[in-house]
Amino acid sequence: MGGQKVQPARTLPPHPLSGVRRDNPVPAPPFWGSRCIERIPLAAIVPYINRTALFKFQWGYKPQGRSKEEYRAWARRELEPVLQRLVRESGQQGILTPQAVYGYYPCNAEGDSLVIYEAPDGRRERCRFVFPRQAKGRRLCIADYFRPVESGEVDVVAFQLVTIGQRASDHARALFHADRYQDYLYWHGLNAEAAEGLAEWVHKRIRAELGFSREDARAIEDLFRQRYRGARFSFGYPACPNLEDQDKILDLLGAERIGVRLGDEAQLWPEESTSAIVVHHPDAGYFGV
């Protein structure tokens, strides 16, 4: 069902509570439903791994008096080789196995809810997500970024789910139980940031397929600062706090194809997996509630 043209913008007033504009053109997805990417080379993900998060916060290497430029030079010399060594070991032993499912679904906003339809004709509801609204400030709600039901125009939302696999968590855990704490720290940190990097990689793919990746910042580091169009909201944060809603995403995307399920306390399993709702609205951004 791909190859559709972008739906032209209709004259709609801004949202009555938040003031979010609702006259942006709706992009046409290349397909409806989900697709599975069973094999993603770790090398493709490495450029999207946030070195600052990995080196400073996961591995604990602080600047210790170095200037920003000095720290970056030191990290390239001392820490980047460690990362590349782990990547090679992963390739040799099959430790990290990046996989993803993602897709596009017809939708409309109804109050503070996002209604997902069975088909692009918008006649039959499949499920819905209810989001909180800010109590003060702009009074934003994720649903505000989509066409309202009363507009008569169906919108599109993307969902994504990524994992680096159970083997990665098992490998780090085995190192910990073997008292190899430095190696455990390296692998545990890489697992966490590789999952985030994979989420960035899939999100970039979605922006490309929706036709506006040209608006991305050129430097990958700037993508970590959300210098691209739209936003990727993960459940568990103030704008979409209900972790149980991930179950709907897993059902929509067919998460069993990559071995992801919802475990105790609505946490994704394998551990290093992330899900998200991808909003295409050009003004979408992160906000607290």
Please provide the DSSP assignment of 103-143 as one string: EEEEEEEETTEEEEESSTT--SEEEEEE----SSTT---GG
Q: What are the backbone dihedrals phi and psi of residue 240, each rounded to the nearest 5 degrees, phi first? A: -150, 75
Task: Output the pLDDT for position 164.
Answer: 98
From the list 183, 164, 165, the residue with the least C-alpha distance to 175 is 183
pLDDT of residue 11: 76
Q: Rounded to 5 degrees, what angle do the CA atoms 280, 155, 219 make?
A: 10
| Cα angle value 20/275/198 (rounded, 5°) | 105
- Find all residues with CB under 8 Å of 235, minimum gap 6, and list them: 241, 242, 243, 245, 246, 249, 275, 276, 277
Residues 186, 270, 39, 93, Cα dihedral to 10°: 40
> Closest Cα to residue 96, out of 160, 44, 36?
44
Any residues with CB less than 8 A from the CB of 208 and at least 6 apart, and which? none
The predicted model scores a pTM of 0.94
What domains can you pick out in the chain, each with its CATH number?
33-40+97-279 (3.10.196.10)
Instruction: State whether residue 204 is helix, strand or coil.
Output: helix
User: Per-residue pLDDT for the chain (289 aa), expressed as one digit of tens each?
Assistant: 444 456 555 678 999 999 999 999 999 999 999 999 999 999 999 999 999 999 999 999 999 999 999 999 999 999 999 999 999 999 999 999 999 999 999 999 999 999 999 999 999 999 999 999 999 999 999 999 999 999 999 999 999 999 999 999 999 999 999 999 999 999 999 999 999 999 999 999 999 999 999 999 999 999 999 999 999 999 999 999 999 999 999 999 999 999 999 998 999 999 999 999 999 999 999 998 8
Judge contact between 234 and 162, C-beta under 8 A: no
